Chain A
Amino acid sequence: AQSVTQLGSHVSVSEGALVLLRCNYSSSVPPYLFWYVQYPNQGLQLLLKYTTGATLVKGINGFEAEFKKSETSFHLTKPSAHMSDAAEYFCAVSSDFNKFYFGSGTKLNVKP
């Protein structure tokens, strides 16, 4: 069984501040982990993913995430928030790269 927990349904940061979106997962097998972003009225866009190898994964738009097996976490970070980062972010887990199980999402608000 696989599941994802995203802590904080809403996160608000000031422009230029650190973005930290939390994701913890549960998986009975080695997981593939993903972060997707959804802008209003748009589809899902892949930000980054962890499959194997280096545990620090860099994605698009300056985002990165670190896979920590001991903590079963895959938190998403960005050093400096930009207004254009305002969106909803979903963490997801998959064991076979087919079925995806999504967290409940975190809406990021960036204040000027």
Chain B
Amino acid sequence: SAVISQKPSRDICQRGTSLTIQCQVDSQVTMMFWYRQQPGQSLTLIATANQGSEATYESGFVIDKFPISRPNLTFSTLTVSNMSPEDSSIYLCSVVGWRGRDTEAFFGQGTRLTVV
């Protein structure tokens, strides 16, 4: 199985500032995924991060607002830029890995962001 560590686990930020969230995986993976879970809502895919290429963003998400880095096969960062209270959410990192002989999607514990 894949173990995912996210930092920070939570933060309270001032509007207009930016926060970078780190995601570390204990094994090499080709793709890493970033999700947002707004209060009381489900998870929404923000983007797919591939090592060595630009991230692919889902409809409604843009690189200027959510720049992503993927410097190697075990690490990625998501930055939430120029934050507003609407960005208050849980941000999760995900990878697909193996559990035994079965593939499974693994999720980090998430970063709980509050923008004030």
Contact = CB atoms under 8 A, between A and B. Distances in A.
Interface of A: 34, 42-44, 46, 49, 90, 94, 97-105
Interface residues of B, number: 18
Which DSSP category, helix, strand, loop or mixed, fits chain B's interface? Answer: strand
Contacts of A90: 42-43
Interface of B: 31, 33, 41-45, 48, 92, 94, 96, 103-105, 107-110
Given A98-B31, A102-B43, 16 more contacts: A34-B105, A43-B92, A43-B107, A43-B108, A43-B110, A44-B107, A46-B104, A46-B105, A90-B43, A98-B48, A99-B33, A100-B105, A102-B44, A104-B42, A105-B41, A105-B42
Contacts of A94: 105
Contacts of A104: 41-42
A44 B41 CA distance: 14
Nearest to B105: A100
Nearest to A94: B105
Among A34, A99, A103, residue most surrounded by chain B Cβ atoms (within 10 Å) = A99
